[in-house]
Structure 1
Amino acid sequence: MFLTVTRLYFSAEEGGERSVCLTFAFLFLLLAMLVQVVPEETLELGLEPGLASMIQNLEPLLKMQGWDWMVPLVKLAIRVGLSVLGSMLGAFLTFPGLRLAQTHRDALTMSEDRPVLQFLLHTSFLSPLFILWLWTKPIARNFLHQAPFGDTPFFLLSDSAFDSLRLWVLVALCLLRLAVTRPHLQAYLCLAKARVEQLRREAGRIEACEIQRRVVRVYCYLTVVSLQYLTPLILTLNCTLLLKTLGGYSWGLGQALPLAPVLAAAQDGPVGPKEDEAQQAAARITGALGGLLTPLFLRGTLAFLIWWTAACQLLSSLFGLYFHQHLAGS
């Protein structure tokens, strides 16, 4: 869906959408490389333990083939791949963030007499900031694990309970953003009225077909706006569910179950006499992937995707607020 929507910007001959996407892609590429060098004591994404777990299982396979010199290259390739993926996600989330900022401002204007809805809109808009806070170890895990109440340490949550609580908070924030979908889309549809009023203030004779064209253009673009709003939400929710399942977490706040042992390679087990070569090859590939894609590696990768998606949404939406507040009318 991201690729389909972004393709519209690159196919347009007029306007600066293509330049904006490329500029933000380069900016997010630099930021993605900087994020990966932040130590785990500050940003606990789990990339370092995940890479160490995967390399530990990959190194014997490479040594069997005499390719042990490729171990540093594999680590570098994974780092570069995550940076490129982060750059692409940043480019894809640029215009959804700009659109979210516009609909957020208009939705707040339309709900001036509804303070509860305004509170929900503000909370939904700041939900990416809460997600960033969940993986910042000094102000999230350390604070809840050992709260600073005087000289006596007071433990609020265990490590496993905090991991489960983080999953529940992610799901709750996704549901909150889903709950305020209607005010955002209604705020976008009200752009048709604003454009007609702006057209009427212009000097000269205005044809009815011009007014109709501007109104229809807003309604025809509603599907794209809906995708821009819902796709980051769906991506975050899917990554959260994958993180729970593949990362070995639990929904309960009690003691977490130990991680499942890594699948052994297929060549270590007996092979049935009736299995053909294709089945044996498939079994070897399955065993190798099970040994490489360890729960620790999947935890780090999915946590990075969730955190990075929230960071891209926050940066692009804040830039959108500044743009619509100070630059759009100039």
Structure 2
Amino acid sequence: MIVYFYASWKLYSPVPQQQGNEMFDFFHIRKLINKIIKPIHWQHFAKLGPPGLIYLVKMPVNLTALNSAQIISNSVCRYAVQKCLSTFLKHIWTYYLFIPLQGVIGVQLVVTMVMASVIQKIIPHYSLARWLLCSGSLRWYQHPTEEELRILAGKQRGKSKKDRKYNGHIENKPLTIPKDIDLHLETKSVTERDTIALHYFPEYQWLVDFTVAATIVYVVTEAYYSIVKPSQEMNISIVWCLLVLAFAVKVLFSLTTHYFKVEDGGERSVCVTFGFFFFVKAMAILIVTENYLEFGLESGFSNFSESAMKFLEKQGLESQGPVSKLTFKLFLAVLCSLIGAFLTFPGLRLAQMHLDALNLATEKITQTLLHINFLAPLFMVLLWVKPITKDYIMNPPLGKDSIPLMTEDTFDTVRLWIIILLCALRLAMMRRHLQAYLNLAQKSVDQMKKEAGRISMVDLQKMVARVFYYLCVIALQYVAPLVMLLHTTLLLKTLGNYSWGIYPELNSDTPVESSLLPSSVYSESPPADGKMKVTVVQITMALGSLKNIFTPLLFRGLLSFLTWWIAACLFSTSLFGLFYHQYLTVA
């Protein structure tokens, strides 16, 4: 411990070892340290082992009493002790939080804290979001300056005195230029300095980088569960996935509210129209039997109602169930209409970028990947259409003897992998779509040259500059649905109790519903204090009760439906956008 304090002092104390005529008195330092740390029961920290050193120090300490102590009169010595003790004691509260939770979360809490440090320290310097934009592959078009436009348009005199500046000379700068001007835009690679002025760049960077961190936590947690197979711990990666979904929905909501602020445009009407359309569509989908769409909502809701009624009966309460089936489906329909309204403009924008990216692509394999990327939501939708996919795989028409190609569990696993691979393909094609969007600046100028009349220089500059300044908005509209699809799929695997292995395991006796046994929480460590043990038992029992109510059967139905619905909304809006940009705008 003395080595620890000395290292902390050397690291955190910037003052010299001599100030005036005062010198360090390490005898006083040791005396003060012994007085403060003597009451601490170090056996509690010894139970944690080497990882426990991480949790020794996390609470800010009020050092007023330390400053007024009579033990040290040397101001320089007091400064060093303050730095040492603040480093040692400022995290002390995490230990008291960690002891009650180590039986419930354990190693996963360490992974979460490490990833939180990575988000704070490393990701700002090594950001995937910045790399996707600033790696040099994207080029944006710079708007022409007034001098360039004046040279191209030639000099002209103002038409009246109002067009002149009365400062001793007549201003010859043209206010308008011909639309058929011979203008060629200059391109420049997107750099980190250019992204500072982009709208929604902080939101885009946070969503992408946090999604990467959450995905890494999920992968590490899945590896931990596959190796150690803990049965008494809560999967903390679920919290990370829920946070990612919350951030994605928040960003889409923020983008949608901007369309409602536009007075002249028809974006507000488009959002409201598609919202009502998706509400009616959701109501129609929810009444379809599971012979056609196998979400498992009916069986999941029935299991949830029965479990909730049993729980209420144990508590001495009489109830017919937490919620009726009609109310449950009505709530789902409203939620689906909101999701559809949020995904309206991302789908419309994706269709336009898809057409432009196809025009830019010259290789056949690139065009094929672009087509697969556009049809990826349709493939996801068909994975839950039972007569088209599952019936043909489980009962293929191969003569008289129908031999299933795979088991039902294997089909569920393959479905998860297909969605993840399609999400990876969409991420890989992101730059081509963004470059197709950036080319809209040159496309707008080329379209302007075909028109007659004049345009003001300011309007021309805005028309070109607006494309680049809204790059991160387009990137968010491309990434947010992808993030939602990916992490609803990950939640479906974890909460639905699916497996990543395509081939069935020989010794897989993991039950679908497992209760948490509080007696085994401290089976691998010495018994802790009575109050801490009671806290662990209470948390474990609470989690066990929730797990008995919210069963994997319910999560399978709910998350399968939400994953299918996100893909269906994205494909519906993209298909409408394809029809609009391909036929209606041309007409």
Q: What is the match of residue 556 of structure 2? A: 299
Residue in structure 1 matched with residue 571 of structure 2 by the alignment = 314
Give the aligned CA root-mean-square deviation in angstroms. 2.3
Give how far 1:75 is off.
2.9
The code of the aligned residue for 1:106 comes to: D
Q: Does 1:15 align with 2:265?
A: yes
Shift of 1:286: 3.3
2: distance between equivalents of 1:61 and 1:76?
22
Change (3 A) 1:285 1:25: farther
Query: 3-state SS of the aligned residue for 1:68?
Result: coil
Residue 139 (structure 1) aligns with: 388
In structure 2, relative to structure 1, the CA distance for the partners of 1:157 and 1:279 (3 Å cut) is: closer
Number of paired residues?
A: 323
Letter in 2 for 1:109: N
SS of the residue 1:139 aligns to: coil
Give the Cα separation in 2 of the matches to 1:273 and 1:263. Answer: 23
Checking the alignment, whether the CA contact within 8 Å between 1:248 and 1:295 is kept in structure 2 is: yes
Contact 1:248 1:260 in 2 (8 A): yes
2:348 equivalent in structure 1: 98
Q: CA deviation at 1:224?
A: 0.6
Q: Secondary structure at the match of 1:309?
A: helix
Structure 2: distance between partners of 1:77 and 1:163:
29
Separation (CA, whole Å) in 1 of partners of 2:425 and 2:493? 20
- CA change 1:302–1:326 in 2 (3 A) is same
Per the TM alignment, residue 329 of structure 1 is displaced from its structure 2 partner at its CA by: 3.9
In terms of mean alpha carbon deviation, does 54-63 or 204-213 score higher? 204-213
Q: Does 1:176 align with 2:425?
A: yes
Aligned partners of 1:65 and 1:192: how far apart in 2?
Answer: 68
2:513 maps to amino acid: P
| 1:19-61 deviation per Cα after TM superposition (whole angstroms, max 9, x unaligned) | 1111111111111111111111211111112111111111123
Give the C-alpha shift of residue 177 in structure 1.
Answer: 1.0
**Partner of 1:118 in structure 2?**
367
What is the correspondence of 1:60-79 to structure 2 with a 5 Å cutoff?
60-63=310-313, 64=315, 66-71=317-322, 73-79=323-329
Q: After the TM superposition, which residues 265-304 of structure 1 pair with which residues of structure 2 at under 5 Å, given as runs?
A: 274=531, 285-304=542-561
**Aligned residues: percent identity?**
44
- CA separation of 1:196 and 1:128: change in aligned 2, threshold 3 A: same
Whichever residue aligns with residue 187 of structure 1, its letter is A
Spell out the pairing of 1:1-330 with structure 2 (5 A cutoff). 1-63=251-313, 64=315, 66-71=317-322, 73-111=323-361, 113-255=362-504, 257=508, 258-263=510-515, 274=531, 285-330=542-587
Structure 2: gaps spanning 5 or more residues: 1-250, 519-528
Report SS of the residue matched to 1:42. coil
Would you say the 8 A contact 1:265–1:288 is kept in 2? Answer: no
Contact 2:306–2:321 (CA under 8 A) maintained in structure 1: no
Deviations 1:34-91 (A, max 9, x none): 11111112111111121111111111234445442345x3433322221111111100
Distance 1:59 1:265 in 2: 22
Higher deviation after alignment, 221-230 or 203-212: 203-212
Write out per-residue CA displacement over residues 135-178 of structure 1, whole angstroms, 9 at most, x where no aligned residue.
11122112111211011112210111111111111111111111
Segment drifting more, 285-294 vs 131-140:
285-294
Q: Distance between the aligned counterparts of 1:77 and 1:312, measured in 2? A: 22
Which runs of no fewer than 5 residues in structure 1 stay unpaired? 267-271
Q: Distance in 2 between matches of 1:7 and 1:259?
A: 45
| Alpha-carbon shift at residue 117 of structure 1 (Å) | 0.6
* Greater relative CO (CA pairs within 8 A, separation 6+): 1
Counterpart code for 1:299: R
| Mapped contact 1:127–1:173 kept (Cα < 8 A) | yes
The 8 Å contact of residues 107 and 187 in structure 1, kept in 2 or not, is answered as: yes
Q: Give the aligned partner of residue 269 of structure 1.
A: none
More helix by share: 1
How many Å apart are 1:18 and its aligned residue? 1.0
In the superposition, relative to structure 1, how do residues 285 and 17 fare at CA in structure 2: closer, same or farther (>3 Å)? farther
Q: Kindly tell me: are residues 87 and 262 of structure 1, through their superposed partners in 2, closer, same or farther at Cα, counting changes over 3 Å?
A: farther
| Post-superposition offset of 1:214 | 0.9
Q: Return the alpha-carbon distance in structure 1 between the equivalents of residues 545 and 275 of structure 2.
A: 34
Q: Which amino acid aligns with 1:26?
A: F
Give the Cα–Cα distance (whole angstroms) in 1 for the partners of residues 357 and 268 of structure 2.
28
Structure 1 residue 281, shift from structure 2 partner: 7.4
What's the CA shift for 1:276?
Answer: 11
Q: Distance in 1 between matches of 2:565 and 2:301?
A: 18
Normalising to structure 2: TM-score of the pair?
A: 0.52
- The AA in structure 1 aligned to 2:341 is A
